[in-house]
Each structure stands twice: as C-alpha cells, then as structure tokens.
C-alpha cells in the first residue's frame, strides 16, 4: 500500500502523506489568545513549551503573534510591527533549540518573509491568499510549503458550506500554482471556526473527505474552538475530550495534520487512529 499524495519536503523533514497523521503544536504569542494560552514575549517559556510539545509528539511547531479569536479586529497587512516584535525573536530562538519544522501563522508577506529569514520553514495563511496573494510568490521563491485555509469571515455563507470551502481552496490553489509553488508544497485547511456556524463546522468535519478531491494534504484545526464548547457547554480550557473526538473522526475522514494545543493526548489518539485506519503502513 502506498501513499496517494507525493511527499512534501520541508528542510530536512519529509512529510510522507498517508503513512501517519502529523501533529502541529500551537505556540500562541499573542497575549489575548482565545484559549488563554498566550505567552507574549517570554522567550524562555516559548522554548520550554515547544520542547515539551515535541517530547509529547509534535511534528511541527506553529508560531503566531496575532489573535484570530471571533470578534477581534484583524490587523491590516501593513500593521505588522507588534506581530514582528513577538514572533521574530521567538522563531530565531526556537530555530536554535528545536529540530522540527517551524511554521509561521501569518497572512502578511512581510511577517512571513522575516519569519522565514529567522528560521521558519512553513507558511500558515489563515486567509488562503485572499488578504495577501504575494505570500504565494514568497513561498515559491523560498521553496517552502504553504497552508491555505478557507476563511469565510469576510462573507459568511448561509448554505452550501462544503461547496463554498472547496471553491475558496480551489481559488487559493490556483493563485499558488500560478505563482510557481510546487503542487506538493500546498496544504489545505477547511477553516473550522472562521465564518462558519456550529452546524457548518460539524458538517465540515463529517464531510472532510470531500476535500480529498483537491489532491492536497488536509490540516484540521478545531482545538479548543467554540464548536466544541457549544456542544459540550464547556469553557476553552475544558474541551479536551471533545477535541479528541473530532481528531479521531477527522483522521477517519482524511485529515493528514492535526493542529492542537494539547499535544500529548492528541498524539496518542493519532497513533491509535493510524493503527486502525492506516493499517497497511503499520510494521509488525
């Protein structure tokens, strides 16, 4: 049994899609993170958290410096100084301390460029190139993978959420390919929690497999989000069990990367899910 998708190379790391589910650990530097885990500019704590996540099973560390919680006014693509102040020192330090790939969670080309210079090797764009298409040229020039997320906050759809997400992702993929990004360097994310209702978020997880028609690895990021809180009636720091359920179902439906705050528990769920779902790759 062979992986359907070609591997993605990221520095010294090769992501062999289909062989296992990869875990992306979230490092939030924004003090007003929705999940209450914002680190700010504490470099020692940043490194300690990243190292702990790697020890627990994280394959990627995702670093972000702008809160994207619902209701937060987004910064413009030119308003980057505060974000740079948080993420660049952290990435420079992490690049010296850890060996797994670092992704920069930003939709701004200047932030992404300086983050790549500092040691990041993946761009994670929550706007799927709708805010700053020049990110595609940057990814092509640097030869790094780019994650394109379907974000509906600019025009929340009333119906047809899967079709809308597919259309958004197809548009972003076309922009990336036109800019010269190799097909194997494009990863897609349905964007759960970004301009979707509870029912739409649940539908996306249930129908995640339909994104496979795009021919790209799929990242699923639902960690501690309101879709889980609304179902379980729990605050952000008490949603672990719900997210583990979403993780297992997401893997069964085709997720290749799970982006989470709680790495230890998620990595174990991924290992067990992979043993069942990706049985052809498990060595006796």
* Catalytic positions, written as ranges: 225, 259
Q: Which helix (H) or strand (E) holds 30?
A: none
DSSP-derived letter for residue 74 is: P
* Rounded-to-integer distance, Cα 2 and Cα 259, Å: 24
Q: 3-class SS at 80?
A: coil
Contacts (Cβ under 8 Å, ≥6 apart) of 158: none
Contacts (Cβ under 8 Å, ≥6 apart) of 247: 220, 255, 258, 260, 266, 269, 270, 273
Q: Are 243 and 223 in contact (CB under 8 A)?
A: yes
Give me the torsion for CA of 277, 279, 283, 284, rounded to 10°. Answer: 110
* Rounded-to-integer distance, Cα 279 and Cα 274, Å: 7
């Amino acid at each position: 049994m062979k992986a359907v998708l070609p591997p993605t190379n990221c520095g010294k790391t090769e992501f062999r899609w289909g062989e296992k589910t990869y875990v992306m650990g979230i490092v939030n530097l924004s003090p007003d993170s929705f999940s209450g885990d914002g680190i700010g500019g504490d470099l020692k704590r940043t490194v300690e958290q990243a190292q702990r996540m790697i020890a627990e099973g994280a394959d990627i560390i995702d670093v972000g410096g702008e809160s994207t919680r619902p209701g937060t006014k987004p910064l413009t693509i030119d308003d980057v100084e505060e974000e740079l102040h948080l993420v660049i020192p952290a990435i420079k330090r992490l690049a010296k301390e850890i060996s797994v790939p670092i992704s920069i969670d930003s939709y701004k080309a200047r932030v992404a460029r300086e983050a790549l210079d500092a040691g990041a090797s993946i761009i994670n764009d929550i706007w799927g190139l709708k805010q700053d298409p020049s990110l595609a040229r940057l990814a092509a020039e640097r030869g790094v993978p780019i994650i394109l997320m379907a974000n509906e906050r600019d025009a929340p759809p009333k119906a047809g959420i899967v079709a809308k997400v597919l259309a958004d992702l197809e548009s972003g993929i076309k922009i990336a390919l036109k800019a010269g990004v190799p097909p194997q360097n494009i990863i897609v994310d349905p964007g759960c929690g970004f301009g979707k209702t509870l029912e739409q978020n649940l539908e996306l997880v249930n129908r995640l497999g339909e994104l496979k028609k795009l021919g790209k690895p799929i990242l699923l990021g639902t960690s501690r989000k309101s879709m889980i809180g609304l179902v379980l009636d729990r605050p952000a720091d008490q949603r672990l069990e719900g997210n583990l359920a979403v993780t297992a179902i997401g893997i069964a439906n085709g997720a290749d990367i799970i982006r989470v705050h709680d790495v230890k528990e998620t990595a174990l769920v991924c290992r067990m899910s992979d043993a069942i779902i990706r049985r052809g790759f498990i060595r006796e």
